């Protein structure tokens, strides 16, 4: 029976870890040669998670330049900084020259400016010119994500000539599965796949076999929007054009997947109230610093809730301790933790669904109101279910079915409001330009908890006194 993908990955990672440990145990410095089948991504993963910085750097410098460049290409930004710490600029320049232009640009952005400028001096002039060009674009734009290594074909070029060009490419282009058809001004006119070229007559013009309708991206577009377009249309790559329509770059699916992974990770961390750059491998003090600031919101909300609790404790427990009226107030207040838990859970569910909807492009202009009304309906339904289940149980505990029904209704309203408030917060944040994940985490919990408690206790007191 074949190994499951996760089991296979764990096995490959173990092989990489074992090979690294065996090499580091050698008394003298020798070139590190990984075993057959050990991928550079597994080496980067093991160096980042399983070895201290000093040992990781030692192994990195024991690799040949080709393997070092491959590991840098797969490494986390923080691992890149560790591996290149103290390295000579000429050595970094050699590694940068082995990377594709988009990966090289990402690597240079992590270096201090003075180091970056010196590294550029050790690059071939053509590479330095391309990297300076790419560095002009914002890192989070399509221009900052693209590579300038791609194939083009003139509209009147013969199919046979394009096939020869593909054969002579020798790995210089990011991909040889397609060529973009342009005119004399390099304006994008169409795309032709290598398969279509092979099926066509070698004497045909490329313009006769190309696909004229090309899904493309603008160079100034947000990289997340471009990544969603690649995913939506199931594309393996997408051309990037400037305002004149001239094709200037190419974005591949693997780059888009990295963008979506980064954005998804950031949203998950922000939704939990941590910094977007939080990482499990961070030092202790950094972990605390990344998580502590957002805790101020629920702390202050808790102080307000305590005041609300004290106010309703006085109103609901008007009788002396041990009397029937005082006991009833104490029983009502004892249900507050349940209200906080249920309304907080519903609010977090709503926020998570909406944040994901914004992230993957499901919630767009024109669909906000239907989504808003839908979430309100879901909140009312969940509130009705919670009230129907918890109401009789609370009545049994309190010894009064009518009191239980009142509290069940109050719980249902609190839950429905939590869903509505969470929807308003997420959609309002997105409408004014804030990241919904950032606002929908601790802010949502604070608002949801405070308003739900007020609504639950206020409804219970008003209906109970009627």
pLDDT at residue 3, rounded to an integer? 45
User: pLDDT class for 280, splitting at 50, 70, 90?
Assistant: low
Residue 247: strand pairing partners: 241
More confident residue, 264 or 287: 264
pLDDT at residue 240, rounded to an integer? 94
CA angle 120, 126, 132 (to 5 degrees): 50
* Separation of alpha carbons 279 and 6, rounded Å: 22
pLDDT at residue 284, rounded to an integer? 67
Instruction: Provide mean pLDDT across the span 93-118.
Output: 88
Main-chain phi, psi angles of 263, to 5 degrees: -65, -40
**Is the pLDDT reported for residue 367 higher than 90?**
no
| pLDDT tens for each residue of 405-415 | 888 888 888 88
Closest CA to 177 of 161, 147, 197: 197
| pLDDT tens for each residue of 145-163 | 898 888 899 999 999 998 9
**Is the pLDDT reported for residue 320 higher than 50?**
no
Q: Could you tell me the maximum CA-CA distance found in the chain, to the nearest angstrom?
A: 100
Closest CA to 351 of 250, 438, 225, 466: 438
DSSP class of residue 35? P
Going along the chain from its start, the domains and CATH numbers come out as 5-145 (1.25.60.10), 152-252 (3.10.580.10), 291-465 (1.10.357.20)
**Is the pLDDT reported for residue 442 higher than 50?**
yes
Residue 430 CA, distance from chain mean position = 16
* Separation of alpha carbons 444 and 437, rounded Å: 10
More confident residue, 357 or 64: 64
Closest CA to 400 of 392, 390, 408, 412: 392
* Separation of alpha carbons 351 and 273, rounded Å: 13
* Strand order, beta sheet including 237-241: 217-218, 237-241, 247-252
**Is the pLDDT reported for residue 108 higher than 70?**
yes
Q: Tokens at residue 225, please?
A: 């929007």
């Amino acid at each position: 029976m074949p190994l499951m993908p996760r089991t296979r990955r764990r096995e490959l990672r173990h092989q990489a870890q074992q090979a690294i440990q065996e090499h580091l145990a050698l008394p003298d410095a020798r070139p590190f040669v990984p075993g057959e089948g050990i991928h550079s991504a597994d080496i980067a993963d093991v160096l980042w998670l399983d070895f201290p910085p000093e040992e990781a750097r030692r192994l990195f410098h024991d690799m040949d330049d080709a393997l070092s460049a491959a590991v840098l290409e797969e490494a986390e930004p923080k691992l890149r900084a560790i591996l290149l710490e103290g390295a000579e600029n000429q050595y970094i320049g050699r590694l940068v020259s082995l990377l594709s232009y988009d990966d090289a640009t990402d690597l240079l952005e992590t270096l201090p400016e003075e180091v970056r400028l010196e590294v550029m001096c050790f690059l071939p002039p053509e590479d330095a010119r391309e990297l300076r060009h790419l560095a002009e674009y914002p890192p989070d734009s399509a221009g900052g994500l693209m590579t300038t290594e791609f194939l083009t074909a003139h509209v009147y070029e013969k199919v046979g000539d394009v096939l020869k060009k593909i054969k002579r490419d020798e790995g210089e282009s990011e991909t040889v599965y397609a060529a973009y058809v342009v005119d004399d001004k390099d304006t994008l006119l169409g795309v032709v796949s290598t398969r279509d070229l092979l099926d066509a007559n070698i004497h045909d013009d490329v313009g006769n076999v190309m696909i004229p309708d090309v899904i493309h991206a603008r160079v100034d577009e947000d990289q997340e929007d471009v990544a969603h377009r690649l995913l939506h249309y199931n594309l393996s790559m997408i051309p990037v054009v400037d305002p004149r329509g001239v094709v200037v770059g190419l974005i591949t699916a693997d780059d888009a997947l990295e963008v979506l992974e980064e954005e998804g990770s950031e949203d998950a961390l922000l939704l939990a109230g941590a910094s977007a750059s939080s990482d499990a491998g961070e030092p202790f003090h950094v972990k605390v610093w990344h998580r502590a600031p957002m805790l101020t919101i629920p702390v202050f909300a808790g102080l307000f809730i305590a005041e609300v609790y004290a106010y309703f404790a006085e109103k609901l427990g008007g009788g002396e301790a041990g009397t029937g009226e005082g006991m009833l107030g104490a029983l009502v207040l004892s249900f507050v933790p349940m209200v906080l838990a249920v309304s907080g859970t519903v609010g977090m569910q709503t926020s998570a669904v909406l944040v994901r909807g914004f992230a993957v492009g499901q919630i767009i202009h024109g669909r906000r109101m239907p989504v808003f009304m839908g979430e309100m309906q879901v909140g009312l339904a969940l509130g009705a279910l919670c009230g129907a289940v918890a109401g009789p149980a609370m009545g049994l505990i309190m010894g009064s079915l009518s009191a239980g029904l009142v509290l069940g209704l109050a719980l249902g309203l609190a839950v429905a409001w939590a869903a509505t408030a969470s929807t308003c917060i997420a959609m309002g944040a997105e409408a004014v330009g804030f990241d919904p994940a950032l606002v929908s985490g601790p802010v949502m919990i604070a608002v949801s908890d405070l308003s739900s408690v007020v609504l639950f206790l206020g409804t219970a007191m008003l209906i109970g006194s009627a």
